[in-house]
Chain A
Amino acid sequence: MPEFEEQVILLRASQGDQEAYGLLYENYVERIYNYVYYRTGNVHDAEDLTARVFFRAMHHIKTYTDRGVPFSAWLYRIAHNLIANWHRDRSRHQEIPLSDAPTLHYKGEPPETAMEQNQEKDALLRLIRHLPAERQHLLILKFVEHMSNAEIGETMSRSEGAVKSLYHRTLLSLRDELEQLDPGE
């Protein structure tokens, strides 16, 4: 959606136009869903929280003011707050059930290799979910949304340099943690 068009739709939505809000929803639902999914680790909670993000946004869109940051940043903030409450309400983190894990295709590889690789990915996702929220957000924007450092900076209200530095520190600390789990790496 072009930026100008989005601003017009946002204005209409903030004046109570449900059709306009529906367009915003369609444009952002997958992104928010992916963010929530990778932060919570299961489909059920991802659906529940994604729905809550959009209903909360709908009730507060009248107060939305364009401060030069993308609309997605506002939605991500709502999602972040809801996920923080969700974590607080739970006594322990729920792990990704294998059936819910992202579909991975390994054409031509024996099943045991694929299973091993799936286990490695699950372990990595579990590690990622223990990172500070900001670092998880950064990784999701980078690897799921394929955003550049500048775009991530806009969304997270940080400079491009700060994003780059945080990104490198995050990857190195993840690498260290993985090595501690499996020193043979």
Chain B
Amino acid sequence: MGSKLNKLSDELGGRISSMENRLSGTFKPIKPRREFVSGIARRIQTIPRVAYVNGIENWHLIALLVAGLLTVTIFLTFLGRALLSLVEKEDTSRI
């Protein structure tokens, strides 16, 4: 029984190592073309990504600015209307 198992294990080991030999002869590291590698490297450096990323990162500031502008606009509208109604009141009191 033991010798049969040993024989089977040796046989499997032999089959695996013969396949390993074949595969190491088949797979060879391939060098990509130099123009291809440098072309992609150039494109990576030239894509305007920093501005986009920074823009996204500054969204807090942009939101604050928009909210501030809206507040100022609303305040000015109310102030304008108040002044207008004061002027109208003065005009009617003269009559």
Contact = CB atoms under 8 A, between A and B. Distances in A.
B26 A124 contact: yes
Which of B18, B43, B44, B49 counts the most A-chain CB atoms under 10 A from its CB? B44
Nearest to A104: B28
B45 A34 contact: no
Given A16-B53, A34-B29, A34-B30, A172 B45 contact: no
A100 B24 CA distance: 18
Interface string A34-53: 10011000010011001100
Contacts of B43: 55
Contacts of A47: 32-33, 36
A148 B76 CA distance: 71
A168 B19 CA distance: 10
A18 B44 contact: yes
Given A47-B36, A174-B19, A175-B19, A102 B45 contact: no
Contacts of A29: 32, 37, 40
Contacts of A33: 30, 32
A77 interface: no
B90 to A, nearest CB: 59
A144 B29 contact: yes
Interface string A15-35: 111110110011001100110
